[in-house]
Structure 1
Amino acid sequence: MTPRRQVGILAGVAGLCLVPFAGRSLSPDEGGLLLLASQWSPGSSLYGDYFVDRPPGLIALADLADVAGGGWAFRALGIVAVVAAVLLSGVLGRLAAPGRPSAPVLTAATAALLTVTPLFGGTVVNGELLGLPFLVGGIVAALCAVRADSGRAALWWGVLAGAAGASGALVKQSLLDVFVFAAVLALVSRRVRPVLGIAVGAVATIGFALWVASTRGTDPGELWDAVVVFRQQAASVIASSATDSTTRRLGSMLLALLLTGAPVLVVVLARRLPERATPGVVDLRWPALATLGWELFVVLGGGSYWLHYLMGLVPALVLLTAAACQRTLPGQRLLRATYALMAVSTIGALVVVGVRPIQRPEHPVVHWLDAHKRPGDTAVVAFGAPNILQSTGLRSPYPDLWSLPVRVHDPELRDLSALLEGADRPTWVIVAGRSLGSWGIDGSTANRVLAEHYDRAATTDDWTIYREVGR
């Protein structure tokens, strides 16, 4: 069987592994993005009437899925991203080590095993997953630019790399992997022309995206505040209000990384990196290590430590595989054992999540509201879980759908208190637990206002539902 066919099979199998999860209930982030995208037009906040600290590329992809069918289309978009990332990883392996037939198979296998594992958050759709094809594609284009025989080809491949890299950053602002890779690659190869092309492609892509976003009411200045300034403020809030749950999430994330077998792969492959690369190839050792360093910084530096952050390590791990293929590979027995370990981990995790689906604590709330809501009702979810709003079709008059923006924008809940006291107060207020207070949030005033204007209507295990007095 040819390497190209093997890569195609790996991509197909990776996509099929995610099909059984396509119809499952949306996670809070998935539901929130679809809700936000569905009303993206000039409004009172960054994206319509809602705020999220993410660039417009991610919202555009969610909007595409919303138009195409909603939740199932969003999951289908994630499957397409996985298949594309695996295929592009195979291309990267072929370009990196053209004289080694196993190279594209190994790079594709690395991508396939890690993009579908639930330990990397692979069964739900997130920014890291949707950004993968842009990142791997941009890395492929940057490598082609350096390998190009003519200056014109190098320039145009650079433009494509810059456009792909900018597209990744427009999905999530920390996905700068292509630019880190390209900068180190330019130093190693001593090729300048591709850098010019990358700059042109990136600037053109970002400029076009900002123009399109502005036509839908998203101001470039406010966008800068959201994706750059806000993230700095959020990091400060997280650092000053770190809780035991944050520490536990860090431990869980590191354990998940260990269980995938990815660290074993890194150790096995890295032992070969000190060797010289095969003559005639562009050595990817230092670009791969630089990219891995950047991705580790992003995963560990954010402070939130959600499992899907680990998906951001995939491009560097694929690159590390490609760099190792440019050298004498470890013994076949050791290499097969390493990939077998990763395969067992991925299959085991998929089976566990398949047999025992992740329980969504929002389900009882959604069922109760579906049975009791009336036309024209509105709701505020305090705080997070915007999938409740998306599932019930309710709109929120409060712009912050996620909890972190509340902690940064409204930590004393003054805006929320004013809303609950005003004439346009929501019909329903859904509270995580019993109090509006939480880490980084002073809920004393808002709790008093809530008690004055709302009655407790129902209680689930994790949520309390309040209804406006007189409704």
Structure 2
Amino acid sequence: MTSLLTHPAASSVPSTHLRRSWAVPAIALAAALVWLPNLARPLSSDEGGFLLVASQWSPGTSLYGDYWVDRPPLLIGIFQLADLGGGLLALRIIGLLAVVASVLLAARIGRLAAPGVRRAPVLVAATAAVFMTTPLFGASEVDGELLAVPFVLASVLCTLQALQRPNRWWWAGAGVAAMAAVLVKQSMADGFVLAAVVVVWLSTHRRGRDAVDAIAYVGLGAVVCLGVVLVWAATHGTGPIGLWQAVITFRAQAAAVISGEANSATPGRALTLSTSFLASGAIVIVLLGLLPGLSRRAGGPDVRLLAAAVLGWEVVGIAFGGSYWLHYLLGLVPGLVLAASVVAGSSAARVRWAAASLVYATTAAVVATVGLVVHDTDVPSDVAVARYLADHKAAGDSGVVGFGNPAILEAAGLGSPYPQLWSLPVRVLDPGLAEFTHVIGGPDAPTWAVVNGASLATWGVDTSRAQAVFDREYHLDDVIGDYRVYHLR
């Protein structure tokens, strides 16, 4: 079993070679090139919605300005930067930087987790590059998981560095980065899980003082990061109580709604997610990293144990995510990085198997990317709807989508008087559509309404009263694919 070495000389043996190596920068560049076609892809529902929320985030009538979303504030802050930079292209460039940063951080983790093994940074960087870019992991859109991975990897790096060269500030850095990841995507607490496992190991190996330092300074870093972000969010009108309800309480309520009322689409997505994971080739890295029979080195905690703990948490996060979108799989990247670090320090045969699996995974990623590019030559219905609205809107117009896909509104340049932009919050917070009915029947009713299908009906929602008001207030303007575009009478 592979474990961390704590002897400084051991970890510095290959440093000169690695500094001169071209392999890791080349892998980072290759990852950027593979991800590059995403710069021109249309907005996804989440990307458009988060940009719409971020563009008006200031004190308003709901959690984030006049909109509500069950996401932490640092994510909305990143989208705010993208909005200030011009929107879609700036957002995709931020995503590209997240991919490159993840590859470089993974290389450093490989060096620390398998010290003295020259192939480790290359193998681990390649693992991050493949799975941060493959469409089979939903990596073609900039979502919370993609943006949180670099923070998780930074936390892992700080923890490993603190183990090899004990320093309280490395522990503090691990806490800051771990909390930042959670403030981007609340389920990605991998850095805290890793730190907890390390603290237990330190406590059981008569390193109580180091364990106390780890607890104190990881906690300090996390609290400082949390405090700064909460104060910053409060200046935008977003308070801690509202955030707790959105980020924690809502998720439990949503899980109950999904388990009790979801239609066949949800288990269908779960099957697609599982199939995509198997098709990606990631399972080979997991098995090679966690199977017994690896050589053991004296020193720090077994990296296989760390990888198993992180992967275990990530699987739990995916399972409890509920909706099973493909981009959930990006949450596995930190665990895969640690598993690849284990493989890098093991036998040559296992390294060859890992290299072969990465060649396959790269091929699958490239094929899937080409498929997306070809698919994007056809104009999707939601993009066509957004273009129609942009061409026909007047100054002061607003819109609503029943229910979900706020990218239509963002791309059309329309705001919404209804605070729920996604379908799941509607099902949890407004299942009887009382608020929706009040909005469409009131003085600030949206000028345009887009409905996917022949009516407002969808699972988990009672549309009986809302449909009658909707039919009275709106007339059909056009039909585009499965979408019906309505205008206020």
Q: TM-score, normalised by structure 1?
A: 0.96
- What value does the CA root-mean-square deviation take over the aligned residues? 1.5
Deviation at 1:160, TM superposition (A): 0.3
Choose from 195, 205, 209 the match for 1:182. 195
Unaligned 5+ runs, structure 2: 1-15, 204-209
Distance in 2 (alpha carbons) for counterparts of 1:195 and 1:244 = 44
Unaligned 5+ runs, structure 1: none
Match in the other structure for 2:185: 172
Closer/same/farther in 2, CA of residues 311 and 460 from structure 1, 3 Å limit: same
Match in the other structure for 1:465: 485
Q: Any idea what the Cα deviations from partners look like across 1:182-225, whole Å, max 9, x if unmatched?
A: 11122223331122110000011001100000000001111100
Choose from 94, 111, 120 the match for 1:94. 111
Match in the other structure for 1:405: 425
Within-5 A mapping of 1:166-245: 166-190=179-203, 191-192=210-211, 193-245=213-265
Q: Any idea what the Cα deviations from partners look like across 1:413-471, whole Å, max 9, x if unmatched?
A: 011111111111111111111211210011111110011111111111121111111xx
**1:328 and 2:347 aligned:** yes
> Is the CA contact (8 Å cut-off) linking 2:285 and 2:339 kept in structure 1?
no
> Higher relative CO (CA 8 A, sep ≥ 6), structure 1 or 2?
2
Distance in 1 (alpha carbons) for counterparts of 2:170 and 2:121 = 21
> Percent of aligned positions with the same letter in both sequences?
44
Q: Aligned AA for 1:67?
A: L
> Is the CA contact (8 Å cut-off) linking 1:130 and 1:171 kept in structure 2?
yes
Deviation at 1:280, TM superposition (A): 3.5
Deviation at 1:15, TM superposition (A): 1.1
Match in the other structure for 1:6: 23
**1:287 and 2:309 aligned:** no
Q: Any idea what the Cα deviations from partners look like across 1:222-245, whole Å, max 9, x if unmatched?
A: 110000001111111101112111
**1:369 and 2:389 aligned:** yes
Distance in 1 (alpha carbons) for counterparts of 2:257 and 2:379 = 29
Choose from 39, 52, 62 the match for 1:22. 39
Q: Aligned AA for 2:24?
A: V
Within-5 A mapping of 1:277-356: 277-331=296-350, 333-356=352-375
> Is the CA contact (8 Å cut-off) linking 2:290 and 2:308 kept in structure 1?
no
> Is the CA contact (8 Å cut-off) linking 1:96 and 1:282 kept in structure 2?
no
> Is the CA contact (8 Å cut-off) linking 1:135 and 1:177 kept in structure 2?
yes
Choose from 436, 443, 446 the match for 1:416. 436
Deviation at 1:18, TM superposition (A): 1.4
Structure 1 window deviating more from structure 2 (460-469 vs 92-101): it is 460-469
> Is the CA contact (8 Å cut-off) linking 1:238 and 1:303 kept in structure 2?
yes
Distance in 2 (alpha carbons) for counterparts of 1:332 and 1:299 = 28
Structure 1 window deviating more from structure 2 (391-400 vs 460-469): it is 460-469
Q: Aligned AA for 1:300?
A: A
Distance in 2 (alpha carbons) for counterparts of 1:85 and 1:226 = 28
> Is the CA contact (8 Å cut-off) linking 1:182 and 1:287 kept in structure 2?
no
Closer/same/farther in 2, CA of residues 229 and 331 from structure 1, 3 Å limit: closer
Match in the other structure for 2:173: 160
Q: Any idea what the Cα deviations from partners look like across 1:305-344, whole Å, max 9, x if unmatched?
A: 1000000000001011112333334355433322222122
Distance in 2 (alpha carbons) for counterparts of 1:332 and 1:212 = 46
Distance in 2 (alpha carbons) for counterparts of 1:380 and 1:460 = 16
Q: Aligned AA for 1:127?
A: G
Distance in 1 (alpha carbons) for counterparts of 2:375 and 2:400 = 30
Deviation at 1:180, TM superposition (A): 0.3
Distance in 2 (alpha carbons) for counterparts of 1:269 and 1:416 = 50
> Is the CA contact (8 Å cut-off) linking 1:268 and 1:330 kept in structure 2?
no
Match in the other structure for 1:444: 464
Distance in 1 (alpha carbons) for counterparts of 2:347 and 2:195 = 25
Deviation at 1:80, TM superposition (A): 0.3
- Please give the secondary structure, in 1, of the residue aligned with 2:396: coil
Choose from 272, 278, 287 the match for 1:258. 278
- Please give the secondary structure, in 1, of the residue aligned with 2:132: helix
Distance in 2 (alpha carbons) for counterparts of 1:339 and 1:80 = 22
Distance in 2 (alpha carbons) for counterparts of 1:82 and 1:16 = 11
Q: Any idea what the Cα deviations from partners look like across 1:22-80, whole Å, max 9, x if unmatched?
A: 02211111011111100000000000000110000100000011101210000000000
- Please give the secondary structure, in 2, of the residue aligned with 1:430: strand
Q: TM-score, normalised by structure 2?
A: 0.92
Distance in 2 (alpha carbons) for counterparts of 1:311 and 1:13 = 18
- Please give the secondary structure, in 1, of the residue aligned with 2:158: helix
Aligned length in residues? 464
Q: Any idea what the Cα deviations from partners look like across 1:380-431, whole Å, max 9, x if unmatched?
A: 1111111111111111000000010100111010111111111111111111
Distance in 2 (alpha carbons) for counterparts of 1:365 and 1:148 = 57
**1:128 and 2:145 aligned:** yes
Q: Any idea what the Cα deviations from partners look like across 1:132-161, whole Å, max 9, x if unmatched?
A: 110001000011112224xxx2x1101000
